């Protein structure tokens, strides 16, 4: 992936392409005005982030000791990502931007009322993705309302960081810099993985690959920097993530069967409501024995729907397959990356076949390793 030149020419070039795409859409007809507005807000938001980014050494010298300590650790994590994980060595995460808000942008996900397949939107550079990102929460909510009026299930999610795929040097953001250390490392490894490998028109492949890299990266970061407190914290956070994914995964399996059945739409709608009610009940039951799960209360408070489940699946559905591919590569990351690049070059149907087979092998291995009752 091309690196962002220090004179800003690559960034300006990308901005010109974004604006050219907006103009091209405009010329296609008046109905494209909303799309033009979307490109403009994205270009303006990105350039604002870059304009306000300051070199980390400068921020460290600025006097905020707590922030300086955090950013010092970020520099170590950033160096580890390239030296030990083989992730891109460039200017990303060497500058800091204070946002003045909780999230950098808001993603809008949508899915039909009786399907878990998310809608796609296609863009000149990123290709087709399963969400639309807005730098304004109000604009995201307005888009969500429009989609909901069309009868789709909709989910809006605040985003602490995103990758520009190497076209720009992504800065460290105030939206995540004060997270627990292992969570900061997880996020940086994830976003850098997108710079290493990105396949147009396949969000599940991209996000699941990056999630697998982040998980492995945190494991290796902790192994290289032994700290019982951080290790316990990371293990607990992963346990909570796994519990949440299990609850959501069970609901997805149930809904997949419901939507694929020959029942009437009315019967499917009723079964859908029952499935989501059962998911919420299961969450409350599990949370009673694991209070730490309360961190997911906000997600459940948004009235989960097909779009909510689709948003989770995008980031997790293929993770077991990628972990299996890493295992088959003797846990050697360069070999793993080469293997994934080869799969990425296949057609989507071929990629899905390979990943489905890898996931099946992963399940088989776990089943064999489980203690027999």
Q: What is the pLDDT of residues 213-268, one digit of tens each?
A: 999 999 999 999 999 999 999 999 999 999 999 999 999 999 999 999 999 999 99
Do 110 and 152 meet the contact criterion of CB atoms below 8 Å apart? yes
Q: Tokens standing for 370?
A: 């489980």
pLDDT digits (tens, 9 = 90+) for 106-127: 999 999 999 999 999 887 767 8
Whole-angstrom distance, CA of residue 72 vs CA of residue 59: 10
Q: HEC states along the chain?
A: CCCCCCCCHHHHHHHHHHHHHHHHHHHCCHHHHHHHHHHHHHHHHHHHHHHHCEEHHHHHCCCCHHHHHHHHHHHHHHHHHHHCCCCCCCCCCCEEECCCCCCCEEEEEEECCCCCCCCCEEECCCEEECCEEECCHHHHHHHHHHHHHCCCEEEEEEECCCCCCCCCCCCEECCCCCCCHHHHHHHHHHHHHHHHCCCCCCHHHHHHHHHHHHHHHHHHHHHHCCCHHHHHHHHHHHHHHHHHHHHHHHHHHHHHHHHHCCCCHHHHHHHHHHHHHHHHHHHHHHHHHCHHHHHHHHHHHCCCCHHHHHHHHHHHCCHHHHHHHHHHCCCCHHHHHHHHHHHHCCCHHHHHHHHHHHHHHHHHHHHHHCCCC
Classify residue 200 as left (phi > 0), alpha (psi -120 to 50) or beta.
Answer: beta
Whole-angstrom distance, CA of residue 182 vs CA of residue 76: 12
Do 123 and 129 meet the contact criterion of CB atoms below 8 Å apart? yes
Contacts of 46 (CB under 8 A, 6+ apart): 15, 164, 168
Do 207 and 184 meet the contact criterion of CB atoms below 8 Å apart? no
Q: What is the mean pLDDT of each run of 10 residues along the chain (373 residues)?
A: 38 50 41 68 89 95 91 97 98 96 96 96 80 94 96 96 91 96 96 96 95 97 95 93 96 97 97 98 96 94 96 95 97 98 97 96 71 59
Q: Tokens standing for 247?
A: 């609850």
In this prediction, residue 184 carries a pLDDT of 97
Give Cα 118 distance to the centre of its chain: 15
Do 287 and 293 meet the contact criterion of CB atoms below 8 Å apart? yes
Whole-angstrom distance, CA of residue 133 vs CA of residue 42: 8
Which residue matches tokens 């490109």?
Answer: 39
In this prediction, residue 367 carries a pLDDT of 62
């Amino acid at each position: 992936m091309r690196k962002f030149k220090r004179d800003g020419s690559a960034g300006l070039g990308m901005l010109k392409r974004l604006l050219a795409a907006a103009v091209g859409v405009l010329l296609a007809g008046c109905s494209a005005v909303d799309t033009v507005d979307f490109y403009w807000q994205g270009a303006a938001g990105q350039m604002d982030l870059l304009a306000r980014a300051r070199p980390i050494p400068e921020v460290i010298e600025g006097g905020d000791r707590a922030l300086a300590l955090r950013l010092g650790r970020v520099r170590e994590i950033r160096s580890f990502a390239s030296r030990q994980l083989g992730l891109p060595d460039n200017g990303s995460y060497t500058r800091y931007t204070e946002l003045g808000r909780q999230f950098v942008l808001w993603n809008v996900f949508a899915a039909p009322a009786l399907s878990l397949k998310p809608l796609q939107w296609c863009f000149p550079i990123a290709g087709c993705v399963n969400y639309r990102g807005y730098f304004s929460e109000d604009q995201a909510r307005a888009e969500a309302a429009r989609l909901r009026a069309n009868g789709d299930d909709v989910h809006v999610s605040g985003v602490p960081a995103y990758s520009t795929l190497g076209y720009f040097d992504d800065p460290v953001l105030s939206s995540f810099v004060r997270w627990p250390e292992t969570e900061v490392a997880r996020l940086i490894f994830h976003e850098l993985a997108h710079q290493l490998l990105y396949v147009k028109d396949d969000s599940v492949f991209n996000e699941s690959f990056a999630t697998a890299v982040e998980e492995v990266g945190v494991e290796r970061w902790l192994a290289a920097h032994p700290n019982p407190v951080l290790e316990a914290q990371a293990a607990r956070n992963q346990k909570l993530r796994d519990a949440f994914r299990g609850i959501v995964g069970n609901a997805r399996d149930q809904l997949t069967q419901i939507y694929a059945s020959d029942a009437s739409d009315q019967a499917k709608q009723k079964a859908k409501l029952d499935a989501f009610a059962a998911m919420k009940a299961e969450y409350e039951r599990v949370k009673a024995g694991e209070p730490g799960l309360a961190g997911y209360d906000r997600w459940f408070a948004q009235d989960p729907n097909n779009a909510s489940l689709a948003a989770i699946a995008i980031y997790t559905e293929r993770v077991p397959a990628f972990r299996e591919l890493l295992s088959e590569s003797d846990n050697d990351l360069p070999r793993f990356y080469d293997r994934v690049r080869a799969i990425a070059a296949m057609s989507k149907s071929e990629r899905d076949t390979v990943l489905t087979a890898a996931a099946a092998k992963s399940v088989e291995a776990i089943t064999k390793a489980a203690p027999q009752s």
